[in-house]
Structure 1
């Protein structure tokens, strides 16, 4: 692979580069996470657009138009990134909704300890002009849910906390033993795919005075997109198959 610098946003045909694959990185981004679409550009270039690294490699028939990752959830970072198709018989696929910018996935319901939450299915649907909907984004640390999804989820979880309180807008509690006693959260997608999120994944340990302080990492948003970020993607093989 060769690396060239591309300034501005020229069209692909105007780029004077001999690089087999072109990609770059930003040095400064501003604006709100939810409100500014450009902040979904990614940190390396694995979006669904034609200039993404995967799209360029697949166009040259070096790999199939797919990639996958498994992010380590032990707090030290790292993981595995695989370019091309992944052969794993146990993987259940859910169709991606058409989009040039984001990886939209059809979230249909959420369950807590196997019990489906009472959420209007309309809350999961994208709006007419492409906002709302649910996206998968490994470049986002937490998970952002619409209020009509977030509120019943938190309401079903907090009663299982001992002496809960709110810190910086997030439900928290002190835990002296294992966090495994807290409920399992399942995101159910079209096609029969389901993603289970364990307490150790959705709970974020706080640095605020006490090492036993844990807070729920789900965040509430009123507009934009729902984003399923690293909080729920850790310790899972996530496959982005754009070829099928």
Structure 2
């Protein structure tokens, strides 16, 4: 199921098919599985989340506070995440993870090592070799992205690298972190448009699809 969250809830003419719950609600959630990317959208109260972060601008943009790789916080300029055209956009209409070019300018990081790679070959489990990435958001909410999330296996020893340089994006989006659907697999993601917050928790979405 493909959903355009950029338009959802921002106009009166947005489609409401393939959903569960009252269309008039200002709260909705999605849960996507890892097998084929299908899942459900539920409209209405789906439960209380322990941590949320504020939606700071339209188009589902939130404030990032830091990014860590293998538990170590990246040393980036203080204005990397804050200001016009910055922050993180939640966009399940795409699969890739787009990062500002500044992420790729440090030779000793994961991002430097995959900076111009679309496919890579690897034998064995990628989770045993490559590091976990953690995005930290205002309000204490965090998102862990594991190697099997950003290195997609095609059934052989070849992997598609979903970490993409944001320089390929339109000018007004080059400094945004864009988080595609792959990082939200098996997570219940709740959008509360009335209170302008978003949050998520781990969930087995395959039992719902």
Q: TM-score range by the shorter chain?
A: 0.7 to 0.9
What does 1:126-145 correspond to in 2, within 5 Å? 126-127=83-84, 131-145=85-99
Say whether residues 1:200 and 2:148 are aligned partners: yes
> Which residue number corresponds to residue 233 of structure 1?
184
Structure 2 residues not aligned, in runs of 5+: 17-21, 196-209
User: CA shift at 1:175, angstroms?
Assistant: 2.2
Q: Does the 8 Å contact 2:87/2:177 carry over to 1?
A: yes
Measured after TM superposition, the shift of residue 113 of structure 1 is 1.6
CA distance in 1, matches of 2:157, 2:139: 39
Q: CA deviation at 1:109?
A: 0.9
Cα distance per residue 1:177-234 (max 9 Å; x no partner): 1121121110100000000011111112358xxx202243111113413311113222
SS in 1 for 2:79: helix
With 216-225 and 193-202 compared, the bigger mean Cα shift is at 216-225
What value does the CA root-mean-square deviation take over the aligned residues?
Answer: 3.0
| Alignment CA distance shift 1:165-1:115 (3 Å) | closer
Query: 2:97–2:163: 8 Å Cα contact kept in structure 1?
Result: yes
Residue pair 2:54, 2:63 contacting (<8 A) in 1 also: yes
Segments of 4+ in structure 1 off by > 4 A?
none
Number of the residue aligned with 1:148: 102
Counterparts of 1:233 and 1:205 in 2: how far apart (Å)? 17
Aligned residue runs from structure 1 range 13-92, under 5 A? 43=4, 46-51=7-12, 52-53=14-15, 63-74=24-35, 76-89=36-49, 91-92=50-51
DSSP-derived class of the 1:87 partner = coil
TM-score by length of 2: 0.74
Determine the structure 2 residue equivalent to 1:98: 57
Residues 108 and 121 in structure 1, CA contact (< 8 A), matched pair in contact too: no
Q: Quick check: 2:95–2:162 contact (8 Å CA) kept in 1? A: no
Greater strand percent: which structure? 2
Report the structure number with the largest CA radius of gyration: 1
User: 2:80 is paired with a residue of what secondary structure?
Assistant: helix
Give 1:120 shift: 1.4
If the length of structure 1 is used for normalisation, what is the TM-score?
0.64
Rounded to whole Å, the distance in 2 between the matches of 1:216 and 1:44 is 23
- Is the Cα–Cα contact under 8 Å of residues 158 and 171 in structure 1 kept in the other structure? no
Alignment counterpart, residue 125 of structure 1, candidates 82, 101, 117: 82
Higher helix share: 1
* Shift, 1:86, TM fit: 1.7
Query: What's 1:187 paired with?
Result: 135
**Structure 1: 5+ residue runs without aligned partners?**
1-41, 55-60
Answer whether contact 2:5 2:60 (CA < 8 A) is retained. Answer: no
Cα distance between partner residues in 1 of 2:151 and 2:136:
20
